[in-house]
Chain A
């Protein structure tokens, strides 16, 4: 009998290890032969730990399971039970998705290359190995894939620049420094299907002529790093990485590097400096990293999800992927629904879903049961949207038009107890703490921003135009998105929730 209990950190954070211990103890007590598979998460975090068993009707889910439920589940023969949810694939959350990047996540044993290949793994790479580098790059360009880290730059164009550069060495750098609050798609794929990321990086190497890749992950992700390190070891032993990719292609190897708690290292040029062993200070562009990146060599810097999406594009073709989506946002996006929600987790779907459908229908409103006040989309540098903007369809341009950004597709919901002035203050405070210090608008502006919000909180309404002016300066004058985008949460809070700023003035006067 096979029992699946995720090794995903969200499942662990909710007690998966205790459930596994209880399953093993119970199996031993009953003298039953049980294999426990530590899969990734299906993404339904409110049901974690989600225990599954094999059956003739496919996998059957139970959740959320606590260690105290385990004996009862055995008694019921994993049939009728209060925690029974039915076949996993039939759950509404699963059925409504288009899982391309996350097709295997939660299904397979993340550290089994057999399992990986049995579910379509390496098919994209095998096809790429029969193609010219130009054809690989063209396939990615034609798919319409854009950077999933936030900037939304077309992945294929970036690859083409690197492919066209002449150098003795080129690099593929995977940006796994997923520091945005409300995002965990990178973490989930690294913990749940790491070989997909490795396969995507190998394909990128073939496309641009690079033989070395780095994954720059975070120290805040100890579980993901352990899975990745083991996956890289297994990939080397299998010959997926090494002197000749699968014995058919050129050399490619990957090294895992761990950051050291600096948010700004998620910015690609700061990341490159950090990889080189320096302070994570942002570099001025140009030169583009595509031409002068790691150690001054042409470097592809792509987000985890961008790279992990490449295999399915190569496997099924550019047009298959491109046919999903809306406007210039092609393909699918793994939405990460978080914060104060009844149902939080990861939901992969074609671009275009409205924010209202995400928050009200998928997430089912707030966990506290209170009305939704604001939704921050795109991490700490993303705008706070009020209910009035809930008709906004999920897409790069669609959010930009409304004064926001989709970023890495993290969606954080707040109920009506949120104080938007406090959220604006936090955005400035965070920028001040995390600023690399290179440019003045960010380094000094964020500090002055905290002080100015404090003035508004004390009832000084004259400080409001000052804050607006400061945000304009930061937006226009900062070197990177940290200083440049901090105005998004601040200005959206001020614009959409003016009562929280003027109320403070009134309260102070009284």
Chain B
């Protein structure tokens, strides 16, 4: 585990995301129990584990959609859990893709992607839409700019959601079971974009049930169970030589 950062370590480019002794509970349920982890920058970290293991909560803590009760979380040089941190400014650096897409239902595809560029980045409308159009083209949906989310398939909606996050040029991308709600034949397109992004050197935290994706794309895999990190390591190690009975049991169930 990395040492506690001192000011001299600030702005190190390879710091990525770090969790230090993070705990979070919902009422009587301890969802995260003293979790420490390091997700290096420029790498994809896949988080696997049974449902209810705390994977999604870990992810949601990374942009403070959930606030941990204890512990500290760092993104690159900044401690996001420090008191008085500007959450909105922080979130601009962390993109998130949800299981159920959550596109803005009243806005067209291009407006979905351009909205935060205009309101948060304060770009003029034309510039924001031009940039949005580039990102829409990049995820293969050129020609769909003026459609409403309800007129798109789940796979298309999720690709727009990815474009919406990427347009903000985040340092870190979070994927919360991004393909779980998709029909099987639509999963591939979304995973393809995620793979491309990973190979491009984006720092990614990916909560997923897609073990093949984890094996092929992840630089690091974290196995969680009952609010704790049970095993961490390169995919080859976790999938081919699991160290704990819990991971072995889990892999037996899903592979």
User: Does A pair with B?
Assistant: no
Chain A residues within CB distance 8 Å of chain B? none
Chain B residues within CB distance 8 Å of chain A? none
